[in-house]
Amino acid sequence: MATPWDQAYKHIIPLDFNSVNSVPDSFVWSQSDVIQPDNGLFIPIIDLMDSNAPKLIVEACETWGVFQLKNHGVRTKIMEDIESEARKLFDLPIDQKLKAVRSPDGLSGYGIVPIQSLFSTFMWHEGLTLFGSAIDHAKALWPHDYQQFSDTIDEYQSQMKALAEKVTGILFRALSIPVEDLNWFDDPTNRSGCNLALQLNSYPPCPEPTRTLGLAPHTDTSIVTILQAKTSGLQVFKDGVGWIPVEPEPEAIIVNLGDFTHLLSNGRFISVLHRVVVKPIQRYSMGYFYRPPKDFVVSPLLSKDLGPGEVPRYRSIIAKEYHELKANCKHYEKAFSLIEN
């Protein structure tokens, strides 16, 4: 029977998560999607202050596509502030949150996770997607008290951008991609229109955590994604092993590679497949998606290391075109195969 909830909000947030004590059918994923044995493996933890860090990061990207980073230089205060702003947002009553709702053709705003459109089963998740400033959404949410949210988002994004550039710089150097030639790289004004996004994620407490997923398996459409989460839930897939839980180290930040790095490295670096499982307790995470500008041509040929013996596995593709291709692919590996030479 249709409830008022279905009629009003289903396209935005498919469920009033607080009102149910079981997982509705439309959220039930098959058991094989959800449950996995514990294999006792851990992803690498790297100290950015270690003189070996660049080498360790490159190795982690070749074998895992994901690692945790300690001594990353992002201040603890801003990491705490962003989490408390996320909590403040997701704690609002639904009617209030809908004031920042994503418009049907828009990209930024509150609602269902953007990758939901690729799956027919719902995920136990709500989120806020931001591109640049959050001031308009903040004003809609808190007309008299928007500054703190907006300032925290600005500060967090600028710290994430600096960190993402550090990591990207290490990877591009390893690939002999001359960062000096990239007009968007390290541009403080961001004039080149980098297509950077911040995603605040909330995974509400789930009464039957083994029946559903917080995020379905996917790879990120980014160069690198920097993720902050205090609690477990994220799992990464390793070929030949299976799903491995990521246990966040206190104060560390999780870095995972996205599809663009896989393409730029001619397949050397892994765009890691990952998913989120839910718990009986609330979980928040903040994902910063570092991407090139939409008109950037992503090509393995940018790498000066691609020698005479090595052929480009992928054709060149404009970042915007790749985004569109991926948005229409039902399977994460499909996008790569479509542009394989």
Measured at CB, which residue is nearest to ligand OGA?
285
**165 or 220: CB nearest Ni ion:** 220
Residue 270 site contact among ligand OGA, Ni ion, none (CB < 5 to 8 Å, cut-off depends on kind):
none
As measured in angstroms, the least distance from the Cβ of 232 to ligand OGA is: 9
Contact region for ligand OGA (CB under 6 A) — 148-156, 177-185, 190-198, 225-233? 225-233
As measured in angstroms, the least distance from the Cβ of 55 to Ni ion is: 26
Q: How many residues bind ligand OGA (CB under 6 A)?
A: 12
Which parts of this chain interact with Ni ion (CB under 5 A)? 220
Site for ligand OGA in 184-213 (CB under 6 A): 199, 201
- Asked if residue 107 lies in contact with residue 115, where contact means CB atoms within 8 angstroms, the answer is no
As measured in angstroms, the least distance from the Cβ of 88 to Ni ion is: 23
Query: Among 288, 280, 278, which residue's Cα sits nearest to residue 255?
Result: 288
* Binding mask of the shown chain, residues 242 to 281, with x at each position contacting ligand OGA by CB under 6 A: --------------------------------x-x-----
Told to judge if 283 belongs to the known catalytic residues of this protein, a careful annotator would answer yes
As measured in angstroms, the least distance from the Cβ of 220 to ligand OGA is: 5
Which residue of 229, 273, 302, 317 would you call a contact of ligand OGA, by CB under 6 A?
229
As measured in angstroms, the least distance from the Cβ of 290 to ligand OGA is: 12
Contact region for ligand OGA (CB under 6 A) — 10-18, 165-173, 227-235, 328-336? 227-235
Catalytic entry in 283, 291, 313, 315:
283
Which residue of 244, 285, 298, 335 would you call a contact of ligand OGA, by CB under 6 A?
285
Binding site for ligand OGA (CB under 6 A): 199, 201, 215, 220, 227, 229, 233-234, 274, 276, 285, 287
Q: Which residues are catalytic?
A: 283
